[in-house]
Amino acid sequence: MHHMYTYQYGPEYGFMHGLGSLITFIIIIAVVVIIVRLVAGPRGHQRMRRAFHRSPALDLLEERYAKGEIGKEEFETKRADMLA
The full set of domain ranges for the chain reads 11-53, 54-84
Cβ-contact 61, 43 below 8 angstroms: no
What pTM did the predictor assign? 0.39
- What is the crossing angle of helices 56-67 and 72-83, to 10°? 170
Give the separation between CA 60 and CA 64, rounded to whole angstroms.
6
Render pLDDT for 3-61 as a digit per residue (tens, 0 to 9).
555 555 555 555 566 677 888 899 999 999 888 877 776 666 666 665 666 778 888 99
Residue 51's H or E segment, with its range, is: helix 44-52
